[in-house]
Structure 1
Amino acid sequence: MRSDYIRRFDPEIDEGHEKLRRDIMRTIEAHGAKTISDLPDMTEGERAKWVFWNLHENLDEFRKLEPTLIGQVMCTQLTVTDGLSMASEKMSMEKRIALTCRWHVRLAYTSYQNEEAYQIGEGSVDLTVANTIPTDPPLQKNQKAYMDSDNSLYPNQLYLYGWVTEPIWNEIKNHLYSPTPNCHTDLILRDNCLFPVKAGFGFVAGPPGSIGITNLEFCVSSHSAERRSNRRTETLQR
């Protein structure tokens, strides 16, 4: 998918890009136009279409739900390449992180002061480790990533391509490789960092129908074995 994007599109939004985006939105409109009360009965793939359509076609109202995308990291792979870079055509070392994530969308029901999270499918995260914005994938100046989807797969497959700096990678890598079962890492995309790749949002780039991302947030959660043991003891005593 990404190779097709690089070959056929550049970071600038043109008329052809917008036409393809509108075509994609029409194919998922039936799911996107559903109400929030329909989400529990929808499949993961249908919910993903709902998220993408509302971000593109109903952004102002969608923002009121404070949508946050949360990718629970299930698998991590680091690839280091030394040699001729296909992107820069120079001899260099390239470092890439591949994550497998289970994605959820968290919505805030302000009228009820409540939050709910819904699964929207699994997907891959491909991050380049670099101290300056890479040429692959092609992004805008202050953009960190874009998210795309493949509606032909079931459950709906989500793809995120972006980059992180070396200091960020050094901060999170020990947690990603932690053998402790009580520790897990989430990739969080908050609502004020998600933007439709369309005309009027020239500060983000990506394939037609994708979501531009300006911030990546990694959240590490852990519970000590002692704390878990205490909770089990308290439960047994009751």
Structure 2
Amino acid sequence: MRVLLVDDDSDYRDELIRGLADQGMESMAVDRGREALDHCDAVDVVLLDLNLPDVDGFEVCRLIRTNSSVPVIIVSGRTDEFDRVLSLRMGADDYVVKPCYLRELAARIDAVVRRAKNSWNPLGRNAMVKDLGELQLDFRRRRVTVNGAEVTLTRKEFDLLALLASEPGRTFTRDQIMREVWGYDSIGDTRTLGVHMVGLRRKLGVPDKIETVRGVGFRLLESSCGSVPI
């Protein structure tokens, strides 16, 4: 496992590099956002601080996501909800607050890398197109169209929609969604899911298609639908 650590605190970088090595991970470190852009495609995951001396961490995350699908975990001392939400909207896969437990961080790294490497298809190994009326999902190409127009989703937004579309009408609990899409339990914190759900509904342009089941989770409303092989 190759990790790119982007942080200008040399003491923290050195400590984290040693800790990740104990977890069997190989790390390289840079202290500038622009340097991170040069190396992100050579690693399996990026750990990105928000406070960088040259480029704002949010902008670095956005630029990485524009040009690469490498998973990005924000590791920051900022605890404000605004920072979490903006990071996720910029394309981050996860957000961890410093100081953090090394084992938890390693588990989150494993989860996002596993999800990124696996070609996840809840309908099974055969490539399928799921037809949900005005909404159509192409699992092999990871494409979504609404009324014939293609909609661009992030990796996590597509996985979230794909899970709901695997069983239209079924209510998936928040904990189930966090386990299936993010690879770990929510441990009472489902803000990440909430942010992605807001973005997904906005991009689809059919917000009533995904129903919130109060106190439980979410479900994709049934319509005349089917699955066809491609």
Higher helix share: 2
TM-score scaled by length of structure 2:
0.28
Higher strand share: 1
Q: Which structure has the higher relative contact order (CA within 8 Å, separation 6+)?
A: 1
TM-score scaled by length of structure 1:
0.27
Larger Rg: 1
